[in-house]
Structure 1
């Protein structure tokens, strides 16, 4: 047999309408009470008057009279049975029938709609996506009440057959972008797909790009706003994160809460995020460059204080910075992977204890701890976590450049970064839109 000796496959022999039958289903995808109340009892109580010479016609009668409240279909394609049974269908066979009746009996327990964990807001909706694609589509449908909203279904994964849905507003979404997304989804050849993060590589432009080109969100209001902005959403069954394409630089600095409060307050918050991004990027490299090569740029009183703090420190400034950055990276990773109740305590206590101990031991200076702490805190300001985490790689490059060439290396690294950003495109849309609008670039 196809499924072998698996324990959760139920094979129920029954008699209905004067004929012998066999009912197959997975007990792990439905409940015994559901099967008894909506399938087995109606079949057992079916009148013998339905019996006839043609067993296939009998299955049609049973479908219309006994199981009309359930989604069902007749099929003579035996090769689709494993996939259908794995999707939560029950297969009903009748003696003498070439076809079988496939009945949708899945009754899965899914996580209820809860507040998002990665994109918190003080004011605004508290609903977040779940692992159920149907629930996620309903959250979008409830907010965008238009007959132009479309959901296209695909299946990805040779072994998982994961449901993937493209959501867009017809006649508003860019047809060329929609065509490219469809082609990439259809041409995807993956053995398994469990989360939307595995699909992000499909929508990235060719080459190595430092910044993310696919926006992801747990918030229905944020995704709906992007759909109304003529974008395309990708919903993956089993993942609470919905992908948005095309994504541009400004998307990663906007929070849904910016639109729920006074305009000036939202504008100030966005500007603060941009400033924090620049601080997290250049503060460590500026510290290394100035203290190592350009001490004349530091006021005399501050220079005297820094020199007094660094007295007795056995490492140069670049080694100090890299040591503390590595320590904070380890604490960040430990706080993320530990259970929620102890993860925050480990991060806070570890940072305080480690920083104080390193200063007391004479390994690093006080100013070094301040610089690294400011950098780490600034990197958390971006509403999308993946954006801040990608910047760390470039920050280490700037630190190394500053250690060799001082401010010239920092300026060179920033120039390379600007060139990199200006060359980036996602589905033909310049990454720096609307900054590139004056250059005639295409904006979403």
Structure 2
């Protein structure tokens, strides 16, 4: 997929620290220890595949399947064959898949897309919760992951399911319009740990709302906008408040690296810009011209501030830094409305620097040099290439993801240097971006 090159030594942010942040909590302590042991041996990481798939069992309950499990699925579904109501559950999931408007981008990708959609359906609960995965450290709802899921579901015509995902996030959103890093999936609005607020979630919710609204038939769009109006208003006001200062930039915040930050990151400002750009569309559809104008003015100010602050150094992760990361994708379509040539060029350079031995990329050039490819960030590269007109690169990325699935056909979070799937599968973020990429290519 990508040209091979040597990856430099890790910067100030280490993967063990990331593992502690991402897997925090008592339920994930065993996984934390395993990851740290694997990553501190030196050289390429050796991380096991702990969960290989998620199955649906009696009563619709979702259960993780360990790697190597001999549990059988009903063909063409993620329903476990030994479920007491397997026939009914299988019929329901087959019906859901048949109702999906699956992008036709060639027979070579048919199984990849079908499996990704089945896994998204399996990982989206009846209450609208869309957890990142189903192993102990991942069975929570991250706003950014859920945003991708909502957009992907809408792109194949399942706008009702996408709306449920957004309504779930609306119910847990704070009165200040901000979101915590992640939430319990039981609908209580509780959080699993003390990671606190991550500002990018507010931008992701506006972006996802616009993606879903765009896919709605016009006669249903007004009803949808009314349903999510509290989240739209609270999110837009929150972002405008965050940039109401001389620099027109928000304060530092943790982002998709899941680390405490004392410097502003591109991973925070990118989604916030996408959120304001999306608010312009949302308020345009709803006919609120005053709110639309405020969002547009805010987007212009934030966009200018981003290019002024990050642009001179090639859009690195931190202002004045030299190490780019995958957040460059957030400044490109379909996340952002525009594809600035200098941003696209910086993204290509970043991808080369983040290249890993198996062919994918890491979260950033400053990430630990452990040989691990991360599928969500690799998939984001394919999505941006599809959205900016590089069909060949997008298809090559989909092919790489297809070739590095688990034995169950699921998309793992990580791929080791030797090409082995690792950590857990399926990961909802990756599955969602695969579907979105196919939708972009089909257009």
Interval containing the TM-score (normalised by the shorter chain): under 0.3
The structure whose Rg is larger is 1
Which has the bigger relative contact order, CA under 8 A and spacing at least 6?
Answer: 2
If the length of structure 2 is used for normalisation, what is the TM-score?
0.24
Higher strand share: 1
